[in-house]
Structure 1
Amino acid sequence: MFELRPLLEADLDAVLAIQSACYQPGFHESRQAFAAKLQATPQGCWLAVGKCGSECDVEALAYVFSVAVDAGQLPALDAQQISVPRQAEWLYLHDMAVAPVARTLGVAAALLARLEQVAAAQQLSSIVLIAVQASLPFWQRQGFAELQPLTPLLAAKLASYGPQARLLWRPLPSR
């Protein structure tokens, strides 16, 4: 069992530990970068906590960081400052990681559903993300598709994540 709760700055040590277990070092972000995202869009940052088994205490199992952005304006990896536009169009799912011990619990689906609620409450048109580390099939199963064609600015941003990175989007239902 797990529950979702808003992520707090006090949770950043747990976030860094999950990040370390899930990502290659080239994708690691600093505490300051996570804090900047949390400050920019606190309602878009969530933590899943629960038990990973009978022998485990309650612990952080997964996290998600998302930021409201203008279409085409995505924050860089490890950005130390984030500014949110007055009229954001997209919710940028910057990072979602599930600890290996929690990967069969449905945590990712629950976090994604929460982000859909966040985006709808802000009247945003889409959720976008950059898929890395061979995660493209997972995101496609969640209904995301590649965003094409890319503007030169988006192409440059995407290239900074490596040659396998893909910019994905999923429009939200009109309300």
Structure 2
Amino acid sequence: MPSIRPLRPADIPAVLDIQAANYPADLLEDHAFYANRLELAPEHCWVATDAEDRLRGYLIAYPWDDGLPPVLGAPLKQLPGAASTWFLHDCAVHPEAQGQGVAGRLYRHAKGQARRARLRQGRLVSLSNAIGYWQRHHYQPVPADAALKAKLAGYGAGACLMQRPLDTPDAEHA
């Protein structure tokens, strides 16, 4: 069973390795991106480690507003002051640890922190191959107008903005 702890700056190289093992090259974000999100929202950035303290997965999230998602890979100067949304930016698991419940454990832990922070809804941009996974966690697609479609194009073909209220219980076996 993995342990969950806050992301540390020294963890970012391992995060980059896990990211590279899970995503195509055109969606990879750099060290500065993760350092930026960790600096802005350390209480919403988590890692799962094994008994030897090796990173098995990570989850990057932060408070956001109800508008459009941020530009993929772009640094943020600050978070919105009136944030009511928990924006789950990324959750990935090392290939050796996939299928062991790491993502679900990270998600439940991080969602609990979002609830404690009194964020009311969760939002994320799902890649096309993960939409079903997020639907099992009660996320539903947000209807896309022209502005949202333009923003989602930067996340890859078939990307979908999804949301859910944070007070809804999760599916038991997602």
TM-score by length of 1: 0.89
Which residue, 100, 114, 122 being the options, matches 2:117? Answer: 122
Task: Check whether the contact 1:61–1:99 (CA below 8 A) recurs between aligned residues.
Answer: yes
**Partner SS for 1:135:** helix
Q: 1:80 and 2:75 equivalent?
A: yes
- Report the CA distance shift for 1:10/1:108 in structure 2 as closer, same or farther (over 3 A): same
- The offset of 1:151, in angstroms, is 4.6
Match of 2:50, as an amino acid? G
After the TM superposition, which of the residue ranges 38-47 and 70-79 deviates more from structure 2?
Answer: 70-79
Counterpart Cα distance in 1 of 2:115 and 2:102? 20
Q: 1:66 and 2:39 equivalent?
A: no
Give structure 1 stretches of 5+ with no counterpart: 52-56
- The offset of 1:73, in angstroms, is 3.8
- Report the CA distance shift for 1:159/1:141 in structure 2 as closer, same or farther (over 3 A): same
Residue equivalent to 2:24: 24
- The offset of 1:152, in angstroms, is 4.0
Counterpart Cα distance in 2 of 1:90 and 1:151? 19
Match of 2:159, as an amino acid? A
Residue equivalent to 2:93: 98
Structure 1 segments (4+ residues) deviating >6 Å: none
TM-score by length of 2: 0.90
Identity of aligned residues (%): 34
After the TM superposition, which of the residue ranges 5-14 and 110-119 deviates more from structure 2?
Answer: 110-119
Counterpart Cα distance in 1 of 2:127 and 2:80? 26
- The offset of 1:45, in angstroms, is 0.3
Counterpart Cα distance in 1 of 2:40 and 2:167? 25
How many residue pairs align between the two structures?
168
